[in-house]
Amino acid sequence: MQKLSKYTPPKVWKWEKENNENRFSNINRPISGATSNKVLPKGIHPIQLYSLGTPNGVKVTVMLEELLEAGYTNAEYDAWLINILEGDQFTTGFVDINPNSKIPALVDYSIENQPQRVFESGSILFYLAEKFDCFFPTERQARSETMSWLMWQMGSGPFLGGGFGHFYAYAPHKIEYAIDRFSMEVKRQLDVLDKQLEHNQFIVGAELTIADFAIYPWYGAMVRGLLYDAKDFLEVESYTHLIRWAKQLSERPAFKRGLIVNRAWDTEKGIKERHSSTDFEGKI
């Protein structure tokens, strides 16, 4: 059993930046607001996306590529890179469209003189689904089910990313209690999805929805061994229905495109920015 060092929380917590220097130092801080002045770039399309190719970011690019694949030509978009490790999310331009300084964030200029900002990945998926009347069922029961699974992902994702991912893959010290706690929760979540997909082609029945776009970049990537290098640790091969669904989605052309947008750290397969379909040439 790992011996834990004794720690007594102080009466008032204080942020000691010098004691928290790590690869995420430019991401985490206890205050909000801008730290530098910078205007966001703007392309030629009505939809302007400011993001990074993380799981939350590719939820949106996958959906936009699926909309284009389905023939919605007015879903063309510019995807600009927000490098969170360099603090781009704390510039005045980005804080104006997301006061919470998290990617992704979107501005829709299609409404004349009334550009609409949208932030939080789940909110963006819902906004696009309503805007294009696509990937969101019209029948009440299926619509409610889709929203339930979308909210499930938004609520569960922090356990997988901020909890399990941080302590298993990124924390400077391996803490057995923290890893055990979050591993248990993540495996429960994987089991929830596996049971749901046992009798459903997609998350909500036989139709692709925004629930699939939200869930795949986290849980699909996990069972395909693309997240945290934890495939063996979590024994993901036991979730056969989830693996089937993840493989099925990964083979869709629009998913292949959406998953590499704003993938700045992968110069071989990823594209730093996306402004037209020609940007994918030689990458897919």
Query: For residues 172 and 276, what is the distance between their CA atoms, to the nearest angstrom?
Result: 40
Query: Which of these three, 135, 163, 196, is where a domain ends?
Result: 135
CA distance between the termini of the chain: 47
Handedness of CA 23, 29, 34, 37 (dihedral sign): negative
pLDDT value at residue 23: 64
Residues 6+ apart with CB under 8 A from 223: 190, 231, 236, 239, 242, 243, 246
Residue burial 224-237, b: 16+ Cβ < 10 Å; e: rest = beebbebeeebebe
Q: What is the pLDDT of residue 4?
A: 60
Whether 176 is in a domain gets the answer: yes
Distance CA 28, CA 36 (A): 16
Domain assignment of residue 4, yes or no: no
Q: What is the pLDDT of residue 267?
A: 86
Q: What is the largest CA-CA distance in the chain?
A: 63
User: Is 18 a member of any domain?
Assistant: no
Q: Are residues 144 and 101 in the same domain?
A: no
**Could you give the CA distance from residue 231 to residue 141 in angstroms, rounded to a whole number?**
35
| Alpha carbons 199 and 142: distance in angstroms, whole number | 15
Specify the pLDDT at position 11: 95
Range of the structural domain that residue 93 is part of = 47-135
Local confidence pLDDT in tens for the 284 residues of the chain:
455 668 899 999 998 865 555 566 668 889 999 999 999 999 999 999 999 999 999 999 999 999 999 999 999 999 999 999 999 999 999 999 999 999 999 999 998 889 999 999 999 999 999 999 999 999 999 999 999 999 999 999 999 999 999 999 999 889 999 999 999 999 999 999 999 999 999 999 999 999 999 999 999 999 999 999 999 999 999 999 999 999 999 999 999 999 999 999 988 889 999 999 999 999 98
- At 211 the pLDDT is 98
Q: What share of the chain is helix, strand, coil (3-state, %, to 5)?
A: 50, 10, 45
Structure confidence at residue 20 (pLDDT): 56
74 CB neighbour count, 10 Å cutoff:
13
38 domain residue, yes or no: no
Q: Determine, yes or no, domain membership for 72.
A: yes
79 with 148, same domain: the answer is: no
* 108, 181: one domain: no
Sorted by sequence, the CB contacts under 8 Å of residue 96 that are 6+ apart come out as 40, 117
Domain count, the chain: 2
Q: Please report whether residue 150 resides in a domain.
A: yes
Q: Please tell me the predicted confidence (pLDDT) of residue 7.
A: 82
- 83 and 124 housed in the same domain: yes
Which of residues 109, 135, 161 is at a domain's end? 135
Q: What is the CATH number of the domain that holds 99?
A: 3.40.30.10
List the CATH number of the domain containing 227: 1.20.1050.10
Peptide bond between residue 137 and the one before it cis (omega within 30 degrees of 0): no
